[in-house]
Amino acid sequence: MQQPSRPRPKGLSLFRSTALTDIPQTYAWFEEMRGESPVFFDERMRAWHVFRYEDVSRVLTDYNRFSSQAFGAVGSFLKDTLVATDPPDHRKLRGLVNLAFTPRAVARLSDRIAQITQELLDEVRPRGTMDVVSDIAFPLPAKVIAELLGVPSEDWDIFQRWARVDNSRPNAARQSTERSMEEEMADYFSWLLGERRKMPREDLVSALSVAEVDGERLSERELVKFCTLLLAAGQETTKNLIANAIVCLTDHPDAKERLIGEPTLWPSAIEEILRYLPPVWFLFRLTKEEVELGGQRIPAYQPVLAWTASANRDGAQFFDPDCFDIGREPNRHLAFGHGIHYCVGAPLARLEAKIALPMMLEQLPRLQRVQDFQAMVHTGIVFVIGSLPVSFQAA
């Protein structure tokens, strides 16, 4: 029997913009749901919500019962990509990730990440003010993923436009724009793959253009889909991680000062930022059969929202979960998912954050958020801060 639907808090508007100041209310709702209704059916969405760490982890890892093909119903951009496939097709596409994000390939980018970060900082340091999102958090990962893929510098303008999706726009208008961009991206990457087959270079598109999995070449459509997914995974995750980090550190100045004095804490600090204010708040799945979860029986072919943001604040998994602790150990958060669908952009996001964030704190003294600015966020699958003005001591 399906459980009666429960109201959502006023601060939570799925796939819409809301104020950053409303987020604590959403976390209070998460806590209430973990205690009273850890698995419940939402009549308006016609979907099941899951809140506890143990249950969310099961939904993400048990691909025999919870299919990732639910993402295909969310939008055509993700359909048939690595994110929205199950084994055995998933294994073939996952092999491309090993080609794209090998430790060696990611490490090679370290110097370039530092160089791009420094160029961006040099532009804003004399001003004493900037927008974290538009001045640093967006252009840095967009440029990095463009170089990793091998997008020519003369195509940067069009590439930048693709990467900048306005999540605050009305849903219908945004979907129309995204469909047009998908077609444009498909045409572009088809052309670029063809060019690299004729004249290979030391870039990822060249490697993908001749890639084989189990001795079989991937179709043109699969390769194009993979390139567009990398654009999203390699840019959006890092952008949100950097913006969220500045929110956390300006909200907790003691932690910011501690990091300046103890830079060896940066790796654990980044993991705590990912746990405390994750770039992805929930993931979709579709039940393949009837499943019992959290005391509820979920019928087959039902959409499930696994709230990773709620799981990351579950007191059964994390000591004092609402405390922002940059030295937290252990910290087995689910910010990048779990299991075979672990985020493909996670290694690159961590690397860019590890390089850029210390440079920002070091070179932007007295960094603080601009008072009285009501930062807006888009609370869909991805937690997007649209604008984040800050001030600092000008160089």
Among 155, 355, 97, which Cα is nearest to 238's?
A: 355
pLDDT of residue 173: 46
Among 228, 202, 218, which Cα is nearest to 148's?
A: 202
36 belongs to a structural domain: no
Q: Which CATH number fits the domain that encloses residue 222? A: 1.10.630.10
Neighbours of 216 (CB within 10 A): 9
pLDDT of residue 127: 97
> Tens of pLDDT along the chain (395 residues)?
455 455 555 445 565 677 888 889 889 999 999 999 999 998 888 999 999 999 999 999 999 999 988 765 555 566 777 777 888 777 777 777 766 666 677 777 899 999 999 999 999 999 999 999 999 999 999 888 888 888 887 787 776 677 655 444 444 444 555 667 778 888 999 999 999 999 998 888 888 888 777 777 778 888 888 888 887 777 888 999 999 999 999 999 999 999 999 999 999 999 999 999 999 899 999 999 999 999 999 999 999 999 999 999 999 999 999 999 999 999 999 999 988 888 877 888 999 999 999 999 999 999 999 987 878 787 677 788 989 999 999 98
52-89 as b/e, with b when 16 or more CB fall inside 10 Å? Answer: bbebbbbbbeebebbbbbbbbebeebbebbbbbbbeee
99 belongs to a structural domain: yes
383 belongs to a structural domain: no
92 belongs to a structural domain: yes
- CB under 8 Å to 168, separation ≥6 — which residues? 17, 376, 378, 386
Neighbours of 10 (CB within 10 A): 11
- CB under 8 Å to 52, separation ≥6 — which residues? 34, 38, 294, 310, 311, 314, 316
How many angstroms separate the Cα of 320 from the Cα of each of 29, 235, 274, 324, 325? Answer: 17, 32, 16, 9, 9
287 belongs to a structural domain: no
User: How many domains would you assign to the chain?
Assistant: 1
Residue appearing with tokens 């840095």: 140
Q: What is the rounded CA–CA span in Å between residue 244 and residue 350?
A: 13
* Residue 358, preceding peptide bond in cis (omega within 30° of 0): no
Question: Secondary structure of the chain: what % helix, strand, coil (to 5)?
Answer: 55, 10, 35
54 belongs to a structural domain: no
Q: pTM here?
A: 0.89
Residue 154 is classified by DSSP as G
47 belongs to a structural domain: no
Q: By residue range, what is the domain housing residue 262?
A: 69-281+316-374
Contact 385, 369 (CB under 8 A): no
Q: What is the rounded CA–CA span in Å between residue 37 and residue 52?
A: 10
pLDDT of residue 148: 85
186 belongs to a structural domain: yes
Phi-psi domain of 324 (left: phi exceeds 0; alpha: psi -120 through 50; beta: other): beta
